[in-house]
Amino acid sequence: MKKIFFLNLIFLSTQIFSQEITKKDCDGYLKQTGLKYLKCIYQFEKTDSKDKIYQFYNWSAFGKTIFTNVEKRKSGYFLISHELNQAIYNEKTFEFEHPITVCQNRKLTEKEFKDFENILNKNKFWEKQTYDLKPICTDGFGIVFQALHNGDYRNYSNGNCAAQDEYLNVLYAEIKKLLKLY
């Protein structure tokens, strides 16, 4: 069953994080996971140009898969983190369902959000136009980090099985410690 989940998760990840994505793809992923991917929001929804939305997709073939959003909107600063549980095959619909567990859903203080953005600046996040490592294994782990900041969209990936001292792994570890992520 874990192998089926892994293959399904790879299919989801490959489609949603590929260069070309359609509204139909976005609607399908929203239906399957209950979560909106930032690339879908960027391409198909109207957002306020002052909003700042950061989304981390920290996945593992045989461990936990965590989606985390850090957001600044008119109404404040927010953190919401979900764990994507093992997929369940629904024999009635012939589709996989992805149960979601909310790990955190809280307001951030302005200081926490500024500290978060300071980590990005310290790590020269906005200086990188692209960051997309090629996978070096087939059943490991990885991070996809998407950002929508003042109308500028970024989509970075560390592939599969990147070293612990790789850029996104280091950045994510710092952010995880700061925001006390699950």
Tens-digit pLDDT profile for residues 141-165 = 999 999 998 888 999 999 999 999 9
pLDDT of residue 19: 60
What is the C-alpha separation between 167 and 170, in angstroms, rounded? 5
User: Taking a C-beta distance cutoff of 8 angstroms, is the pair 153, 37 a contact?
Assistant: no
pLDDT of residue 138: 80
What value does the mean pLDDT take over residues 124-152?
89
What value does the mean pLDDT take over residues 64-69?
88
pLDDT(1) > 50: no
What value does the mean pLDDT take over residues 29-55?
84
Site of tokens 């996809």:
144
Grade residue 31 by pLDDT with cuts at 50, 70 and 90.
confident
Question: Collapsing DSSP states into helix, strand and coil, what is residue 173?
Answer: helix
Percent of the chain exceeding pLDDT 90 equals 37
Percent of the chain exceeding pLDDT 70 equals 90
* Range with the largest mean pLDDT of 36-50, 69-83, 109-123: 109-123
Tokens of 128: 């990188």
User: Taking a C-beta distance cutoff of 8 angstroms, is the pair 144, 124 a contact?
Assistant: no
Please, what is the angle between helix 23-33 and helix 2-16, to 10°?
150
Q: What is the mean pLDDT of the chain?
A: 84
Residue type, 132: D
